Amino acid sequence: MNRSVNLVATLAAALAGLAQPNARAAGPLPVLHADPSRTSVSGLSSGAFMSVQYGVAFSSTVKGVGVIAGGPYNCAFVNFGGIESCMSGAPSGDLSWMAAQGFASLGQIDPVAGLSKLKVYVFGGTKDQVVHPPVVAATRDFFHAAGVPSKSLAYVDKLPAGHAFIAPSFGNACATNGTPYIDHCTVKGKPYDQPMAILQHIYGTLNAPATTLSSTVRPFDQRDFANAATSLDSVGFVYIPKDCAVDASACAVHVVFHGCKQGAQSVGSDVYASAGYNRWADHNRLIVLYPQVVTSQTVPPNPAGCWDWWGYTGLTFQVRSGVQMSAVKAMVDRLTAPK
């Protein structure tokens, strides 16, 4: 039986590779020696849950977290109703805080005292029909319970946005809940620039965005970090501004986690090219990492191409040793490797 299962998995992986010619063309993620103390993360939907998980598990090396339509840490395991409660119910931020304390006491995540230093941006659109506002409010409550001071916790909950990244000049109308899950909204007659809001909250005042990018998004081989059984795609993407390619010592890494049905497999370049992060990264010495997961019907069961926030890759999905968590951390470590 095990031999048959392994054969099926091997054939599936081979067919997936044939269907993605870029996988063979993608080179390794470069070693850049960026500043490891200034790493930050953000994401939408399952990517927002993943941002919370990453920020909590690796808080000693994370400066800030951006959460767009996502719930609190370990949500599905501590709330009655599981996944459903963490999308359309009213989960408890306090229970998530207790869970984080428990994992920290076992040494499975970084000490929770480190959470109080984070800069945290939490966003929920009033028209979001996928992850409802009470879920996002629980994320705010979780970080409050963790000791993040009010001045470090931006909570944006009044915009009539759907379930989406909010880009200043790309995507659907503001209240849309559909592919590619990027909307554009206005506030007081001006486009709401969510990447700016996140990055400025985390890093402070930014230089003006680039009107013409100094570089291009490049693919890299994710098989250096994880196999197909983790649901990671064979290819990820990274934007490295020209200045950081020359000398990355003053550059930081920002990780962007896409949502369900939003990886490059599903929406092409829309997230990594058009969500709006790269233009701010270019003039602010930020390397933007876009790791990717793909859909899978069998092993593992991930039909919507979501990041794992409920355990489809195993019971350690939310701690440092989780297969997706450790893979992304290894990517960040390569970009921030000491000289």
- Residues labelled as active-site residues: 45, 128, 163
Q: Which residue has the tokens 């049905």?
A: 261
- Helix, strand, coil tally for the chain in percent (to 5): 40, 15, 45
Helix axes 133-145, 46-57, angle to 10 degrees: 10
Longest dimension (CA), the chain: 62
Q: How far, in Å, CA of 224 to CA of 26, rounded?
A: 11
Provide CB contacts within 8 A for 208, sequence distance 6+: 283
End-to-end CA distance of the chain, in Å? 47
Per the document, the length of the chain is 339
Closest CA to 146 of 108, 106, 123, 119: 119
Q: Are 120 and 164 in contact (CB under 8 A)?
A: no
Residue 89 carries which side chain, given as an amino acid letter? G
Q: How far, in Å, CA of 110 to CA of 99, rounded?
A: 13
Residue 93 carries which side chain, given as an amino acid letter? G
Q: Are 38 and 285 in contact (CB under 8 A)?
A: no
Q: Which residue has the tokens 């019971």?
A: 315
Q: Give the number of other Cβ atoms within 10 Å of residue 314's Cβ.
A: 13
Q: How far, in Å, CA of 25 to CA of 117, rounded?
A: 40
Residue 197 three-state SS = helix
* For residue 133, cis peptide bond before it (omega within 30 degrees of 0): no
Q: Are 144 and 109 in contact (CB under 8 A)?
A: no
Residue 293 three-state SS = strand
